[in-house]
């Protein structure tokens, strides 16, 4: 993915939205479906998120509900997902990374902002066009125990997407398709009539992945897909996901809190903090040349399985907890835990952009970072 040149184009530019004729909704819908079904070149943006916002209202009272505030779970984030790449999203609990997944899956309605899939704003689609989008964007969930219906056989679970999208597989062909999928994810096709409880955690996660693949999607959103698995099984599932990406030409949005796994699988990585994107860049830019203090603290806190490397690494121990997203700090959201914070940080919201000092410079530090005092610091390698 080295040929992908990201971070140069300004994020606020609206992507090329295909012109639609205002006359006749049916014609509009057909045009949208056509756009959605058109292929995207490898390395071109397939999903473009612009200023996405999700506020969950906080209400008081039972009969007369008054809104007394809002949990700002996602508060204006923008990023691109390129065809064929893996974009990792990392952050601690409550940073909004899972809400982003739900918004992209249209499981939650965005408060504001747009999500362009091949130039179509999917937050505004309906009918046939929306159905076509849903077919192309699938999800793999964290918990392989609760995300599979215990009363359905594996065959029914993996084949269920065909009930909603019958055009994907004719009825007589479904059983064979499901068996193919089981084979693809490394399970014995003869297990088709078994129930989820007859499988281990890693095997169940494979079933979840097979279900995600059933409709031959272009994008898979993975929300903590391996964090419930044992170490020895984690590696099996990660390797499988990498193999499938090559085989089916998939784009992954990979959400996780384990920074080592995210580095391993991702081409680019975005770091979220309290509903905002703090820093985004290639895996090398983020891990070897982080410029945002939060990224630096996060990376430095990861315990590495090597006692000697550990002794040479600088550790930044943050004080306090993440503030409540219902009442985030003014200005920069990280300032309450940041050792660099100045007056400016409490008054001015830092924008996600290549920092002035690195602009135009040929250095890996020249990537987007939302900090007034962005500065490169290596916290991952032993000094």
Q: Which is nearer to another protein, 10 or 307 (CB)?
A: 307
- Interface residue with another protein among 136, 264, 329, 375 (CB under 8 A) is 264
> Residue 13 has which token pair?
């530019």
Q: Which is nearer to another protein, 163 or 306 (CB)?
A: 306
- Interface residue with another protein among 66, 93, 171, 246 (CB under 8 A) is 93
Q: Angle, to 10 degrees, between the axis of helix 154-164 and the axis of helix 174-184?
A: 120
Q: Which is nearer to another protein, 23 or 93 (CB)?
A: 93
- Interface residue with another protein among 58, 164, 301, 361 (CB under 8 A) is 301
58 binds another protein (CB under 8 A): no
351 binds another protein (CB under 8 A): no
> Residue 161 has which token pair?
């997407």
Query: DSSP of 89-157, one letter per residue?
Result: EE--TTSSHHHHHHHHTTSS--SEEEEEETTEEGGG--HHHHHHHHHHEEEE-S-TTTSS-TTS-HHHH
**Which region, judged by CB under 8 A, interacts with another protein, from 34-42, 103-111, 258-266, 342-350?**
258-266
35 binds another protein (CB under 8 A): no
Q: Considering the complex, what minimum distance in angstroms separates the CB of residue 186 from another protein?
A: 11
**Which region, judged by CB under 8 A, interacts with another protein, from 57-65, 115-123, 147-155, 252-260?**
252-260
Q: Are strands 112-117 and 137-140 parallel, antiparallel or unpaired?
A: unpaired
Q: Which is nearer to another protein, 32 or 187 (CB)?
A: 187
User: Bridge partners of 116?
Assistant: 48, 121
- Interface residue with another protein among 27, 304, 351, 361 (CB under 8 A) is 304
381 binds another protein (CB under 8 A): yes
Secondary structure (3-state) at 69 = strand
- Which residue is associated with the tokens 């994810």? 185
283 binds another protein (CB under 8 A): yes
1 binds another protein (CB under 8 A): no
Alpha-carbon distance 177 to 362, whole Å?
Answer: 49
Query: DSSP of 304-326, one letter per residue?
Result: PS-HHHHHHS------S-PPPTT
Query: DSSP of 191-249, one letter per residue?
Result: GGG--GGGS-HHHHHHHHHHHHHTT--SEEEEESTTTTS-HHHHHHHHHHHHHHHHHHT
If binding means CB under 8 A, how many residues of this protein chain bind another protein? 46
Q: Considering the complex, what minimum distance in angstroms separates the CB of residue 239 from another protein?
A: 6
Secondary structure (3-state) at 257 = coil
How distant, in Å, are the alpha carbons of 141, 299, 381 from that of 309?
Answer: 34, 14, 7
Q: How many CA atoms lie within 13 A of 151 on its CB side?
A: 0
- Interface residue with another protein among 233, 326, 349, 353 (CB under 8 A) is 233
Q: Which is nearer to another protein, 17 or 301 (CB)?
A: 301
| Interface positions with another protein (CB under 8 A) | 92-93, 200, 202-203, 230-236, 238-239, 242, 257, 259-261, 263-264, 283-284, 287-288, 297-299, 301-310, 315, 317-319, 321-322, 380-381
């Amino acid at each position: 993915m080295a040929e992908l040149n990201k971070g140069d184009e300004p994020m606020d530019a609206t992507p090329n939205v295909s012109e639609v004729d205002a006359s006749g909704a049916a014609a509009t819908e057909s045009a949208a479906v056509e756009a959605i079904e058109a292929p995207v070149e490898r390395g071109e943006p397939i999903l473009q998120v612009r200023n996405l916002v999700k506020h969950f209202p906080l209400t008081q009272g039972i009969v007369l509900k008054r809104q007394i505030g809002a949990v700002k779970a996602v508060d204006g984030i923008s990023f691109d997902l390129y065809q064929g790449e893996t974009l990792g999203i990392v952050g601690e609990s409550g940073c909004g990374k899972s809400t982003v997944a739900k918004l992209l899956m249209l499981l939650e309605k965005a408060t504001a902002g747009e999500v362009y899939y091949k130039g179509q704003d999917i937050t505004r689609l309906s009918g046939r066009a929306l159905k076509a989008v849903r077919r192309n964007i699938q999800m793999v969930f964290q918990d392989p125990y609760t995300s599979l219906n215990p009363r359905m056989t594996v065959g029914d679970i993996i084949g269920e997407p065909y009930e909603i999208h019958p055009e994907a597989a004719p009825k007589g062909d479904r059983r064979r398709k499901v068996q193919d999928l089981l084979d693809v994810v490394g399970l014995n096709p003869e297990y088709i009539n078994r129930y989820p409880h007859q499988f281990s955690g890693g095997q169940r996660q494979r079933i979840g992945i097979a279900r995600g693949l059933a409709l031959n999607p272009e994008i898979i959103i993975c929300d903590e897909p391996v964090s419930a698995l044992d170490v020895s099984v984690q590696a099996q599932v990660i390797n499988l996901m990498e193999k499938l990406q090559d085989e089916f030409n998939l784009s992954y949005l990979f959400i996780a809190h384990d920074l080592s796994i995210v580095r391993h699988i991702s081409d680019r990585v975005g770091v979220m903090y309290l509903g905002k994107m703090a820093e985004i860049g290639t895996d090398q830019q983020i891990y070897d040349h982080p410029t945002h203090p939060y990224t630096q603290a996060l990376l430095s806190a990861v315990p590495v399985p090597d006692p000697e490397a550990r002794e040479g690494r600088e550790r930044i121990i943050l004080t306090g907890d993440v503030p409540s997203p219902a009442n985030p700090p003014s200005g920069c959201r990280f300032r309450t835990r940041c050792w660099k914070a100045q007056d400016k940080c409490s008054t001015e919201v830092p924008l996600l952009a290549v920092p002035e000092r690195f602009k135009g410079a040929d250095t890996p530090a020249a990537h987007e970072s939302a900090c007034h005092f962005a500065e490169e610091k290596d916290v991952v390698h032993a000094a």
